[in-house]
Chain A
């Protein structure tokens, strides 16, 4: 059956009916008309915006003191400190593989916020907003996917590997993350079921289309047309030549080994392949950073999973000429307390945390901001999440101030009106 039996489906998730009624479309329309890259005025004229983001999400809140911002003293880190290719940056020994790519990355040691509870901090770090009962904010991934659009080859715009990430909120369920429980594999159910091949599937699908087009004619409900569109999208994915991008088995033994024999490593290699095939936002989760107990032992173990994968990710993106177009973001819920608790662990510390940026037009090789000698307070160049996201949005050519209308008719911006940090952006 041809698609023409289904009328074009007009979504209105981005602009509420009320906004239309109130005629407040003027401002929105005007912002759509501006070329994306020129809007923010921070990215130099003629520079191409980045095309994709890889977010390495450190679930649980990584200790800044035992990773990127090592401190000495009785409560400091027990890890050895090592020098890196960036003479201003010392990191801990479990991250040793990263020393070699340190000239290509920039460490922000001065992220600060106020959410000390995991759920709230994770929401803030993903959306730029603290939770608010009146609205479900879109995650940055949902926003980027919506702005930059679906890849041409049939892959989803926003993929999350190893964790559920956060929804696209009021932008609509279709802009939410395509979730893979593990990296490196084809998505579940992306192939035909047992006893079904392409020929049989087509025959079945024709029966289904017949039923759905009659149901649409009968109800006239655009949800039916919308669901048909989603089914077609699923079918495009199943039959996309790019589907193989999910499967890292096509990579050489050497490449796979470089990322490490871990789910996180496989997820990072998968992310490279997905970005290569036009995916706009990939989140890869490394869980276990909530180190209330044995912070040394745990961060050593996590570091040995993180470091090879991170270094290989930067090198692989560079060798495929993708690093300039891909912003790699490393962050977690919050930092951890300078004082070790009775269980040799560290507790939640939103006052100070580290974030690491690479690629995508950032200025590499910096150590931006600083904490005091214990790692307690930010003492130089504090970075708020709205400003961090505004920096990322600017690099992607998205206007950090662009407003979208929430279901109750309130205009909000992707970054809570954050301002881009010029010092982090390559001239």
Chain B
């Protein structure tokens, strides 16, 4: 949400923020005079290197207007010309910034941002930005702003006011896109007249309502959440599909969106009870570290770029490898002390009970009749018991020289024994490393897998398939 806190952290406050980006408590800086601390100035500071991008970003993010297109030259089809861009950019840049400490302190550069009579010196000095420096401050609907100390406040005020026709629309469009997988415009930040809108009347209605509510975000979210579009199931009605299976109508069904990194990680923890399993296997410190490592690697691997056209999102090979072969899903799906599967098997009387519990726990629904038949037959027909140590020993024997790439194999506390033909490990390249980091509990978990009888192994397979499924991966 844009209003991330009380007071100044509304969009208006974000654009007009003044003060320091960090307090002296955050760093060991010199004693300071009475200072206003407002981390919101970081939005402004982000553009110090390229101040001409500030207005472009602000209008794209908050108004869905791609004014940036007019930065270099005029376009016949666009409403704004280069001189409009320069006036708009200038309106946003009436501030000065002063570094507080010498250099960085604790990796942080503390800066004080204040309103200024003229645009920032960086723009005044750069010959390429002369046009911006000289332009009188005017906003996109032609309203002239006062030229001086109060320019930036006036700019921020206009950006988020009801007089500005784009703000409410852009915000509603973004929220609609966020909840429903596609905005009224596609991409969500392009509301230019040249980009046709889907059902513009609905956007208009919602935007007017949002403005009338005095930009009450809760009210808007409630409206969207109670809409029929949001309540639609992810199943498509075959009647509305084209021959090639593509649905050309929007919001007749819920559009799948991939879970974000934290959502996915938390969903996996919740489904598997993996953190409890780790806690039973290792010291709290090691568990915390493993959890932090997972958060970091999921944050990197499963980052969902919101700018990217989500309609085509299908993930990466690294993600697929992490889910299929990584420790989290594999140990999470295993029957280990404290694990979800262990609990479920202990409390279920019949195979049907177990299957139902696993489905509910991972997908939030019971199995269909066809799924029941298939999965129960798989469990009942299982004949192979799995000896994790034997598998490990066989793998070590057949794959010299030993790579360290494999998630879990490196640390299985099996008894593979001394293998013939295995080269001694070289320095650096052959170091054992677990995907969950050094000293991590997963290595201990590998040692606890032991021998699974056919039925236990089969249930682990079922759970694994539920956790790696697309139904689990996508919000639907």
Give chain A's interface residues, CB within 8 Å of chain B.
7, 9, 11-13, 16-18, 115-117, 120, 130-134, 136, 156, 164, 167, 170, 172-174, 176, 178-179, 184-197, 199-200, 203-205, 207-208, 210-212, 214-216, 218-231, 233-234, 237-238, 246-250, 256, 261, 263, 266, 407-410
With contacts A194-B446, A407-B187 known, is A173 near B313, CB below 8 A?
Answer: yes
Which residues on A sit within 8 Å (CB–CB) of B305? 136, 167, 173
Which residues on B sit within 8 Å (CB–CB) of A186? 403-406
With contacts A120-B49, A223-B474 known, is A134 near B388, CB below 8 A?
Answer: no
Bound CA–CA A238/B316 (angstroms): 14
With contacts A188-B435, A191-B403, A247-B403 known, is A221 near B461, CB below 8 A?
Answer: no
Give chain B's interface residues, CB within 8 Å of chain A.
49-50, 53, 56-57, 60, 66, 68-69, 186-187, 190, 194-195, 234-236, 238, 241, 245-247, 253, 255-256, 258, 300, 305, 307-309, 311-322, 324-327, 330-331, 334, 368, 370-371, 374-375, 378, 384, 386, 388, 391-392, 394-395, 401, 403-409, 411-412, 423, 426-430, 435, 445-446, 449, 452, 457, 461-462, 464-466, 468-471, 473-474, 476
Q: Which 10 A-B pairs have the closest CB atoms?
A: A186-B405, A226-B314, A191-B406, A194-B408, A195-B388, A207-B465, A234-B320, A186-B403, A193-B330, A220-B236
Report which of B49, B300, B313 forms a contact with A116, defined as CB distance below 8 A.
Answer: B49
Bound CA–CA A136/B203 (angstroms): 27
Which residues on B sit within 8 Å (CB–CB) of A249? 401, 403, 423, 426, 429-430
Q: Is the CB of B401 within 8 A of A247?
A: yes
Bound CA–CA A417/B203 (angstroms): 38
Q: Is the CB of B321 within 8 A of A228?
A: no
Report which of A11, A130, A131, A200 forms a contact with B457, defined as CB distance below 8 A.
Answer: A200
Q: Is the CB of B461 within 8 A of A200?
A: yes
Q: Is the CB of A189 within 8 A of B322?
A: yes
- 12 residue pairs A–B, Cβ–Cβ below 8 Å: A131-B50, A179-B318, A207-B461, A207-B464, A215-B469, A218-B236, A226-B313, A230-B317, A234-B321, A238-B321, A407-B190, A407-B309
Nearest-neighbour CB distance to chain A for B190, whole angstroms, equals 5
Q: Is the CB of B324 within 8 A of A231?
A: yes
Which residues on A sit within 8 Å (CB–CB) of B462? 207
Bound CA–CA A156/B327 (angstroms): 23
Nearest-neighbour CB distance to chain B for A226, whole angstroms, equals 3
Bound CA–CA A189/B465 (angstroms): 17
Report which of B60, B392, B470 forms a contact with A224, defined as CB distance below 8 A.
Answer: B470
B314 (CB) vs chain A CBs: closest residue: A226
Which residues on A sit within 8 Å (CB–CB) of B476? 219
B442 (CB) vs chain A CBs: closest residue: A194
Which residues on A sit within 8 Å (CB–CB) of B457? 200
Bound CA–CA A219/B246 (angstroms): 11
Bound CA–CA A138/B272 (angstroms): 37
With contacts A229-B314, A249-B403 known, is A219 near B53, CB below 8 A?
Answer: no
Nearest-neighbour CB distance to chain A for B66, whole angstroms, equals 6
B238 (CB) vs chain A CBs: closest residue: A220
B400 (CB) vs chain A CBs: closest residue: A249
